[in-house]
């Protein structure tokens, strides 16, 4: 039978009306599910009392699969079929995988769409399917614990995830049969868990040191909206590295040969335990038994701090860079939130506190804080808090734009615009009689398309033939509350339309996004010059093409052979200038050619009027006025 | 006429109220709805109404109930139980003649 939870005064749900909603932290190393029960957001443990679900799936030849701790035990013995850290593959194309190098040890199979499939004993699995299997396990756990079917879930993603990676996450949820109420940025979720969204407006730093990754996010709370000012970190630095530093030291002290895989794993496990002890005690004793030989060693907190200090310093350097990217000073930071199990290490807390010169938030279990924040948001979105004004908004991490003539990016939605949002812009045709227009959707901050990320392409066909510039094509970009993009193009005079939903094809890594942002600042001036040049080139092209067309149509008829030749050579001159990169010269060339063709243009005008008037009497014209 | 609660229930109510930061007790009640006619109400109490009856439970937790609901709930014991992964509050109500399958609503 259903067990009751306590409601706020006057807000008891009618029976069978309470909507069960959860928050899911779909992590690289571990995943969690949380829900709000009797007004309290808590993570939900499995039957063994474990809250963390290792994000590991093992596929077996019989077609079945294992998820979690049991699957993880096969990571070493059956690496091809045991998928770990699948989050790193979400929304990535095959070409991206090559850059991951050793991090992607699986056998890949490439299909037509460029989506990588992992070859396993149970068949080819896409990263989306693997993530869906993890989600299914979490949902089954939640439905059992809450005693009913879930209305929906809020799933968290890193702040630097691009559209393709977000879409892949959403697809995984769909595949696992979960309704996604919202995708929420992980640092935002952590801030929500501490109720910072209800607090003072200002800059918030979220320091997330997980098992294998480090992320620092600088957010700004502004009118109920969390803007991501910058993100940074190190995708190959985490708690495991702290363990390794200690394990190396122990091996050195006791003269242990750590060549063997099992010995090093054993030492890592022991080091991890010692690290956890040292979070509460001043020293830890490690008892070892290797090949029948019993040994014991004591490590003090001071020694441990000394060993891991270089690693912690690295995270602080990343914090400094992130602040610089966000153009804020450490003293501007109002609140600091700690996320990830490794932030339990006292030295980490101490260094973070010193750097930001304020006490970081550590009250909520750093492993659970993201899931807890997501569940609070899920509870509101499911409609369980009717009088709550909390409507959390997120922003677009990188600008969304469209390619225009000359390979330039026209930004349609700027970065840090709060979502959901829809923006439209009108474009026109470039050539006479143009009946189709290619729409190229790009994401990034740079002026040239070649420096941005290509997200999608489609063609609007069936534009009625008109003079260049007469067609009106409205292109609408719509980003829903999950940060996913739909693009719609419509020719307004004829009503023909076409649209596309951005699907996962290729994604950007955190490092790449950071690089792209940095590049946009560094190259701002150069980009601007390049843009001016390209615009001038497009201008020149337009003039050249229209003149060439005109000459073919009636040049011989309206111009003397000398005039014709002169105009032709002037066009040649501009083509030459246009292919160069001298902005001013092209500008002068365009002016010169316009002037040279003025006389021809007015003759054409007279000619076409004469033609229109032929066969009509003056009276007729008067009547039609 | 009395309403009681088990120690387990009192412990959880006390903890939830502390987490919430404020609250004068726990309100039990019934209202008409649901597939078997009546449904239980379980809410935090911010204000005790004049007509409310108040009972003292263990751990200084106050049980608040309106007189009409008391007719249906007299003798009820509020319990906190764990069933597998699921945990929550349960009304042990001697007046119930039939319950819907899920236990969220009942008849007297």
Could you write out the DSSP letters of every residue in A182-206?
A: EEEEHHHHHHHHTTGGGS--EEEEE
Kindly state the helix (H) or strand (E) to which residue A26 belongs, with its residue range: strand A21-26
Instruction: Answer whether A84's CB lies under 8 Å from A55's CB.
Output: yes
Give the pair of three-digit tokens for residue A103: 């991090």
Torsion sign (Cα): A279, A280, A283, A284: negative
- Any catalytic annotation for residue A208? yes
Nearest CA in chain A to B102: A1
Q: Which of A6, A39, A141 sits opposite B85 (nearest CB)?
A: A141
Put simply, the answer to whether B85 touches A44 (Cβ < 8 Å) is yes
Give the pair of three-digit tokens for residue B98: 């039939």
Instruction: Answer whether A33's CB lies under 8 Å from A44's CB.
Output: yes
Instruction: Answer whether B30's CB lies under 8 Å from B99's CB.
Output: no
- Substitution target in B6, B44, B105 with the highest count of A β-carbons within 10 Å is B44
Note the pLDDT of residue A504. Answer: 38
Note the pLDDT of residue A25. Answer: 96
Which residues in chain A are closer than 8 Å to B52, comparing Cβ atoms?
none
Instruction: Answer whether A297's CB lies under 8 Å from A202's CB.
Output: no
Q: Which of A6, A15, A141 sits opposite B44 (nearest CB)?
A: A6
Nearest CA in chain A to B45: A9
Looking at per-residue confidence, does B105 or A158 come out higher?
A158
- Any catalytic annotation for residue A573? no
User: Within a 10 A sphere around the Cβ of B32, how many other Cβ atoms?
Assistant: 8
The alpha helices in A211-300, defined as continuous H runs, are 239-254, 261-278
Q: What is the CA radius of gyration of chain B?
A: 13
Q: How far apart are CA A153 and CA A16, in angstroms?
A: 18
Q: Using the 8-state DSSP alphabet, how is residue A18 labeled?
A: P
- Substitution target in A38, A47, A143 with the highest count of B β-carbons within 10 Å is A38
φ, ψ dihedrals at A123, nearest 5° = 105, 180
Put simply, the answer to whether A144 touches B84 (Cβ < 8 Å) is yes
- Substitution target in B85, B99, B103 with the highest count of A β-carbons within 10 Å is B85
Active-site position among A25, A241, A335, A482: A25
Q: What was the ipTM of the complex prediction?
A: 0.78
Nearest CA in chain B to A37: B88
Among B96, B106, B103, which Cα is nearest to B38's?
A: B106
Q: How far is A20 from chain B (nearest CA, A)?
A: 13
Nearest CA in chain A to B90: A3
Cβ-count burial of A283 within 10 angstroms (0-12 exposed, 13-18 middle, 19+ buried)?
A: middle
Nearest CA in chain A to B48: A9
- What tens digit of pLDDT does each residue of A36-91 get? 888 789 999 988 889 999 999 999 988 889 999 999 888 778 888 888 888 888 88
Nearest CA in chain B to A16: B104
Q: What is the full DSSP assignment across A532-572?
A: HHHHHHHHHHHHHHHHHHHIIIIIHHHS-HHHHHHHHHHHH
Put simply, the answer to whether B43 touches A11 (Cβ < 8 Å) is yes
Q: Which of B43, B85, B99 sits opposite A144 (nearest CB)?
A: B85
Q: How far apart are CA A30 and CA A156, in angstroms?
A: 13
User: Within a 10 A sphere around the Cβ of A423, how many other Cβ atoms?
Assistant: 15
Instruction: Answer whether A573's CB lies under 8 Å from A580's CB.
Output: no
Say how many residues make up chain A.
625
- Any catalytic annotation for residue A294? no
Which residues in chain B are closer than 8 Å to A3, comparing Cβ atoms?
81, 83, 86-90
Q: How far is CA A119 from CA A67, A502, A542, A546, in A?
A: 17, 26, 52, 55
Q: Which of A6, A9, A15 sits opposite B33 (nearest CB)?
A: A15
- Any catalytic annotation for residue A87? yes
Q: How far is B105 from chain A (nearest CA, A)?
A: 7
- Considering the entire predicted model, what is its pTM? 0.63
Q: How far apart are CA A363 and CA A337, in angstroms?
A: 10
Contacting residues for A477 by C-beta, under 8 A, at least 6 apart: A400, A402, A412, A413, A422, A423, A424, A441, A485, A486, A487
Put simply, the answer to whether A6 touches B26 (Cβ < 8 Å) is yes
Put simply, the answer to whether B34 touches A38 (Cβ < 8 Å) is no
Q: How far is B28 from chain A (nearest CA, A)?
A: 10
Q: How far is A63 from chain B (nearest CA, A)?
A: 28
Q: Quickly tell me which residue has 């149509």 as its tokens.
A: A553
Which residues in chain B are closer than 8 Å to A7, comparing Cβ atoms?
41-44
Q: What's the CA dihedral at A224, A226, A227, A232 to 10 degrees?
A: 160
Q: How far is A154 from chain B (nearest CA, A)?
A: 21
Active-site position among A197, A208, A351, A367: A208
Q: Which residues of chain A have pLDDT under 50?
A: 103, 504-510, 622-625
Put simply, the answer to whether A147 touches B99 (Cβ < 8 Å) is no
Put simply, the answer to whether B84 touches A47 (Cβ < 8 Å) is yes
Which residues in chain B are closer than 8 Å to A6, comparing Cβ atoms?
13, 16, 26, 42-44, 89
Q: How far is A4 from chain B (nearest CA, A)?
A: 5
Q: Which of B27, B87, B99 sits opposite A3 (nearest CB)?
A: B87
Q: How many CA atoms lie within 13 A of A107 on its CB side?
A: 9
Q: How far is B1 from chain A (nearest CA, A)?
A: 23
Put simply, the answer to whether A7 touches B33 (Cβ < 8 Å) is no
Active-site position among A46, A162, A163, A186: A186
Q: Quickly tell me which residue has 């190098």 as its tokens.
A: A101
Q: Which of B40, B43, B101 sits opposite A8 (nearest CB)?
A: B43
């Amino acid at each position: 039978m259903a067990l009751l939870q306590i409601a706020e005064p006057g807000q008891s749900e009618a029976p069978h009306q309470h909507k069960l909603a959860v928050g899911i932290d779909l992590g690289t190393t571990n995943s969690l599910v949380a829900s709000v029960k009797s007004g309290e957001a808590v993570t939900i443990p499995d039957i063994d009392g474990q809250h963390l679900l290792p994000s590991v799936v093992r596929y077996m030849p019989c077609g079945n699969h294992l998820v979690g701790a049991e699957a993880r035990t096969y990571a070493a013995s059956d690496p091809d079929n045991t998928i770990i850290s699948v989050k790193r593959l979400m929304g990535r194309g095959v070409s991206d995988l090559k850059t991951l190098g050793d991090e992607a040890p699986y056998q890949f199979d490439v299909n037509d769409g460029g989506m990588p499939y992992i070859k396993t004993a149970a068949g080819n699995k896409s990263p989306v399917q693997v993530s869906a299997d993890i989600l299914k396990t979490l949902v089954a756990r939640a439905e059992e614990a809450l005693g009913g079917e879930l209305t929906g879930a809020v799933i968290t993603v890193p702040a630097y995830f691009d559209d393709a990676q977000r879409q892949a996450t959403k697809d995984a949820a769909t595949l696992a049969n979960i309704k996604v109420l919202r995708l929420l940025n992980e640092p935002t979720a952590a801030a929500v868990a501490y109720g910072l969204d209800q607090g003072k407006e200002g800059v918030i730093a979220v320091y997330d040191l997980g098992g294998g990754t480090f992320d620092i996010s600088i957010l700004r709370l502004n009118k109920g909206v969390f803007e991501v000012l910058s993100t940074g970190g190190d995708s190959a630095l985490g708690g495991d590295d702290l363990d390794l530093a200690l394990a190396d030291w122990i091996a050195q002290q006791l003269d242990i040969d750590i060549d063997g895989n099992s010995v090093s794993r054993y030492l890592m496990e022991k080091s991890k335990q010692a690290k956890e002890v040292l979070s509460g005690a001043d020293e830890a004793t490690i008892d070892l038994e290797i090949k029948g030989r019993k040994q014991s060693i004591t490590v003090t907190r001071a020694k441990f701090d000394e060993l891991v200090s270089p690693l912690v310093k690295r995270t602080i350097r990343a914090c400094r860079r992130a602040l610089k990217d966000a153009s804020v000073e450490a003293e501007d930071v109002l609140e600091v939130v700690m996320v990830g199990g490794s932030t339990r290490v006292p030295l980490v807390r101490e260094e973070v506190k010193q750097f930001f010169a304020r006490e970081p938030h550590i009250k909520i279990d750093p492993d659970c804080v993201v899931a807890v924040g997501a569940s609070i948001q899920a509870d509101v979105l499911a409609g369980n808090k009717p009088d709550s004004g909390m409507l959390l908004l997120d922003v677009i991490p990188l600008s969304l734009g469209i390619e225009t003539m000359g390979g330039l990016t026209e930004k349609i939605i700027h970065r840090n615009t709060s979502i959901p949002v829809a923006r439209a812009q009108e474009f026109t045709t470039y050539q006479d009689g143009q009946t189709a227009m290619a729409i190229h959707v790009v994401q990034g901050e740079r002026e040239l398309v070649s420096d941005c990320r290509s997200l999608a392409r489609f063609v609007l066909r069936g534009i009625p033939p008109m003079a260049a510039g007469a067609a009106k094509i409205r292109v609408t970009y719509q980003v829903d509350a999950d940060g996913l993009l739909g693009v719609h193009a419509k020719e307004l005079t004829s009503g023909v339309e076409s649209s596309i939903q951005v699907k996962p094809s290729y994604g950007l890594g955190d490092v790449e996004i950071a690089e792209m942002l940095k590049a946009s600042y560094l190259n701002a001036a150069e980009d601007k010059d390049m843009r001016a040049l390209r615009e001038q080139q497009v201008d020149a092209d337009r003039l050249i093409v229209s003149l060439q067309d005109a000459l073919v149509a009636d040049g011989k008829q309206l111009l003397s052979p000398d005039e014709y030749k002169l105009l032709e050579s002037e066009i040649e001159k501009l083509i030459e200038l246009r292919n160069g990169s001298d902005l001013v010269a092209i500008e002068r060339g365009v002016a010169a050619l316009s002037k040279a063709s003025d006389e021809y243009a007015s003759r054409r005008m007279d000619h076409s009027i004469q033609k229109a008037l032929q066969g009509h009497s003056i009276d007729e014209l008067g009547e039609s006025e | 006429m009395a309403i009681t609660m088990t120690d387990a229930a009192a412990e959880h109510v006390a903890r939830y109220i502390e987490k919430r930061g404020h609250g004068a007790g726990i309100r039990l009640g019934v209202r008409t709805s649901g597939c078997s006619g009546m449904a239980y109400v379980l809410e935090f109490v911010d204000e005790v109404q004049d007509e409310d009856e108040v009972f003292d439970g263990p751990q200084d937790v106050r049980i608040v109930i309106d007189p009409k609901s008391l007719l249906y709930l007299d003798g009820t014991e509020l319990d906190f139980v764990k069933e597998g992964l699921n945990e929550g509050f349960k009304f042990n109500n001697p007046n119930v003649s039939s319950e819907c399958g899920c236990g969220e609503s009942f008849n007297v």
